[in-house]
Amino acid sequence: MEYSTSEELLAQAIGAEVLKYLTHEGTWKALVQGMESTALQVSAEIQTILNDETLDDPACFRRIDAIVEAFHRNGLSAARHDFW
């Protein structure tokens, strides 16, 4: 989706206010810890997929598909691979 300049500036201003609020309320640290936990989980899933010898197609399509599925399971997008 493409935004106008005024919409982008508004989004930046809203984002800055949200960050101020989260930092002030002490919630920021908990959010960062949750994000880091999810990042570690996704990294571990990707490592498992890359080491899975049963996914042995030469072009690695099965591995790529499995990695995209891991992203989707964790609420992350992978727009370059969304065929459906």
CA distances to 30, 44, 68, 70, 71 from 78, in Å: 26, 17, 6, 10, 7
Q: Summarize pLDDT for 11-64 with one digit per residue, the tens.
A: 999 999 988 888 876 787 888 888 898 899 999 999 998 888 888 788 788 888
The confidence score (pLDDT) of residue 19 equals 84
Do 40 and 70 contact (CB within 8 A), yes or no?
Answer: no
Could you say which DSSP state residue 29 is in? H
For the chain, the structural domain boundaries read 5-81
Q: Is the dihedral of CA 79, 81, 83, 84 positive or negative?
A: negative
Is 0.75 surpassed by the pTM of this model? no
CA distances to 12, 13, 19, 21 from 26, in Å: 21, 20, 11, 9
Task: State both tokens at 22.
Answer: 């989260």
